[in-house]
Amino acid sequence: MLQSQVPPPGDRVATSGGNTKNRWLPPSILSGTPLGPVGATRTKWSSIFWNEAVGFLFMIAMSWLTELLRIPHYLFGQPFAPNWHRAALRTFVVLLVWLWVYLVTKRLLKRLHYLEEILRVCGWCRRVRHDDKWMTIEEYFGTQLATRTSHDICPECLEKQLKEME
């Protein structure tokens, strides 16, 4: 459901047994399970890049070892004539693919890191989710930002409150 299509918080539906539940919320949200990976760090990024590097270097090494150790001759009984140009071309193609995979992975990890930095706020009670714990905005600012908080009223809310009081 798109954000603009989200029904108001009071939109509930009765279920068997008289219980009510939000009919549009997925079970993962209702149960409190995390919506995505939490806590990706630069060290995890480097391990991802190292795993990619090992995989692509293995492919390059196998390309050269195929020519050096005459693997097609032993496996398939083919007559063997080393073709170093073929190994160099394979290496070039693998390096191009490796570059493309590296750039795409880097872009995806940057996007993931950006999304993980978004502060999740409950649309109903305005509490903040941090490290799988829901806390008030005041608690969050006090523990995470070492900032004291106070309450005030904005001009628009002040006008609304004054109109309601009249």
Considering the chain, what is the average pLDDT of its residues?
A: 75
Beta strands in 15-155 (DSSP E): 20-22, 120-121, 128-130, 133-135
Site of tokens 């930095």 = 117
Give mean pLDDT, residues 72-97: 87
Angle at alpha carbon of residue 50, lines to 65 and 99, rounded to 5°: 75
| DSSP letter for each residue of 137-166 | HHHHHHHHS---------HHHHHHHHHHH-
Please tell me the predicted confidence (pLDDT) of residue 60. 93
d(CA 98, CA 58): 12
Give mean pLDDT, residues 134-154: 79
Q: Counting Cβ atoms within 10 Å, is residue 140 exposed (0-12), middle (13-18) or buried (19+)?
A: buried
C-alpha distances out from residue 12 to 4, 26, 157, 158, Å: 18, 13, 28, 31
Global pTM reads 0.48
Is it the case that residue 88 has pLDDT exceeding 70?
yes
Please tell me the predicted confidence (pLDDT) of residue 42. 62
Is it the case that residue 156 has pLDDT exceeding 70?
yes
| DSSP letter for each residue of 67-79 | HHTTHHHHHH---
Please tell me the predicted confidence (pLDDT) of residue 58. 95
Question: With the CA atoms of 127, 132, 133 and 139 taken in that order, what torsion angle do they form, in degrees rounded to the nearest 10?
Answer: -60
